[in-house]
Structure 1
Amino acid sequence: MDGVVLKQISKYYGNKLALNNLSFNVKKGEIFGLLGHNGAGKTTTLRIISGIIDNYNGEVLINGNIGYLPEERGLYKDEKVKDILKFFGELHDIPTSKLKEQIDYYLNKLNVSQYKNSKIKTLSKGNQQKIQFIVSIIHNPDIIILDEPFTGLDIVNLNLIKDIIYGLKEQGKTIILSTHQLEKIERFCDRILILKEGKAVKYGRLDEICKKTAYIEYLEDNKLIKYNLSHGEALQLLNDENIKNNIVKFEVRSSLEELFMEDNNG
């Protein structure tokens, strides 16, 4: 079942066409990656889905309530962590006992419970990011939109966020992830959409649209053999006992980064 469906969405800012007849769907229980260079239309798309922008052509179908982590952070810096989380939780009418339980759970899960009574402005950038992340999911939304969620996080804290995202996916949440860190898209996402000038230039499963090729060098009768071939053909060669024992070099050369650059430079 789909959590989000966009049908022929177009959006103008004055005379500038930001989105051009854009259509795609995001399924429940998947992590969907939205990619594109600055100005490609990512933020406009996310704001339309979240309901911040309502002046557009086309149709958006939303199956559930939304949690949105914007790229521009909006925490009240002079407020305490617990008060910020309580404020945003109450906006969603979460019962007091349930809200306290949710706050304590996520603060412990993200190793920031010791900052519960600290003001936001005293926290590091990474810890502020974790509080902002909690704000976006505190109300147990069905659809979660994460715009650059890994900003300011070291590898330890990134893994904490990753574990929560995977847990939400297992619960059947609809998750839309937008980031410039392409390796995170490759690691997290089931399907992706690449935007260029408001249009979808690539859309689908990573293993379908990111065709991998391989480069292999091996010795045969003291001669160096070099091949550029498909990833599947390369794996077949690796099963040949005479070849795999004489490999000099083996590289997988196609990646999401190459695909992304190709579609945005063309």
Structure 2
Amino acid sequence: MDTIMHVSHLKKKYQTLEVLKDVSFDVKKGEIFGILGMNGAGKTTILECLEGFLKYDVGQIEIHGQIGIQLQSSALPAYMKVKEAMKLFSKWKHAQLDEEIVKTLGIEEIADQTYRELSTGQQRRLHLALALMGHPDLLFLDEPTAGLDVAGRRALHENIIQCQKQGMTIVLTSHDMNEVESLCDRIGILRQGKMAFIGTVEELAKQLGRYYYIKVNSQEGEKVYTTQHIQQTLMQICQDYQKQDLDILDMTVNRGTLEQHFLEVARRNEI
């Protein structure tokens, strides 16, 4: 599979604070690549560098093709009609929106509404439509479903998958691990300004499969323990709770979810 974006030894510093520390990765043509990271890991900074909004200090970014961007926080004039926004962006980009995309996103149904009249989900669909103007080769989506209800998220997921089927490559950020797992072909996890993991969700699970995750519910609430030595840890937990005179109301043991694997990587050294 061809590479559509190549990032090599990227570094970015704010005064004395080094936010990106020698970040390198590739995005393959036609894939959905998710960039994950805890707050402060450098996720926003690297995305702004990739999109061209922020100048980086050292390194190289190569993008083969045109890009489209849907920002997490964006807005249009309150009394601008949807059809006026579409016409304006069409002139800016010297391009028309594909009729199939217009139909899929339901833009015709809201064409005569003003921006302030749109629901959050409709605004998100409009932002996506504007980002898709000119059929970009690479689409950046920053928290695309933030603030949407279940139905809105499901609908937008279908739109994103449809974009991929039409040949677009997508780079997205999200705090929703279910969203990442269902949409992304590969993920990159940032930890303290470095890529701590790059690969598929399945590859991440295999690398961390040696760990057990124990969730314990008691009168004091829920606690989660991570261990490689299940028997010893279970015995220790029972002893600790007994000493504190706490009843264990419920206990579950598993090999971990994507969210647990993500936290395991994000909070410790590279794997």
TM bucket, shorter chain: 0.7 to 0.9
Aligned residue number for residue 265 of structure 1:
267
Match of 2:258 among 256, 259, 264: 256
Deviates more, 1:155-164 or 1:66-75: 155-164
- Give the match's secondary structure for 1:151: coil
Aligned residue number for residue 130 of structure 2:
135
Q: How far off its partner does 1:107 sit?
A: 4.1
Cα distance in 1 between the residues matched to 2:53 and 2:162: 27
Cα distance in 2 between the residues matched to 1:86 and 1:52: 24
Deviates more, 1:29-38 or 1:73-82: 73-82
Question: What CA deviation, in whole Å up to 9, does each residue of 1:194-214 have, x standing for no partner?
Answer: 111211111112111222479
Cα distance in 1 between the residues matched to 2:202 and 2:196: 16
Cα distance in 2 between the residues matched to 1:214 and 1:259: 9
Preserved CA contact (<8 Å) 1:30 1:175: yes
Aligned residue number for residue 242 of structure 2:
none
Distance 1:23 1:82, change over 3 A: same
Question: What CA deviation, in whole Å up to 9, does each residue of 1:143-185 have, x standing for no partner?
Answer: 0010000123233332322222222222332210100001111
Percent identity over the alignment is 32
- The one-letter code of the counterpart of 1:80 is K
- The one-letter code of the counterpart of 2:86 is L
- Give the match's secondary structure for 1:210: helix
Preserved CA contact (<8 Å) 2:11 2:19: yes
Preserved CA contact (<8 Å) 1:80 1:118: yes
Q: How far off its partner does 1:71 sit?
A: 1.3
* Coordinate RMSD, CA, aligned: 2.4
Preserved CA contact (<8 Å) 1:35 1:180: yes
1:109-188 superposed matches below 5 A: 109-188=104-183
Preserved CA contact (<8 Å) 1:213 1:254: no
Question: What CA deviation, in whole Å up to 9, does each residue of 1:4-32 have, x standing for no partner?
Answer: 11000000112211110000000001110
Aligned residue number for residue 27 of structure 1:
28
Preserved CA contact (<8 Å) 1:33 1:192: yes
1:1-266 superposed matches below 5 A: 1-94=2-95, 99=96, 102=98, 105-211=100-206, 212=209, 252-266=254-268
State how many pairs are aligned.
230
Cα distance in 2 between the residues matched to 1:213 and 1:186: 20
Cα distance in 2 between the residues matched to 1:71 and 1:111: 20
> Structure 2, unaligned stretches of length 5 or more?
213-228, 231-251
Deviates more, 1:250-259 or 1:41-50: 250-259
Preserved CA contact (<8 Å) 1:125 1:152: yes
Preserved CA contact (<8 Å) 2:11 2:56: no
- Give the match's secondary structure for 2:26: strand
Deviates more, 1:72-81 or 1:194-203: 72-81
**Runs of 4+ that moved beyond 4 A:** 212-215
Preserved CA contact (<8 Å) 2:10 2:56: no
Query: TM (normalized to structure 2)?
Result: 0.78
Question: What CA deviation, in whole Å up to 9, does each residue of 1:94-150 have, x standing for no partner?
Answer: 1xxxx2x63x54343223433211110111122111111111112200000100001
Cα distance in 1 between the residues matched to 2:121 and 2:210: 37
Cα distance in 2 between the residues matched to 1:23 and 1:55: 13
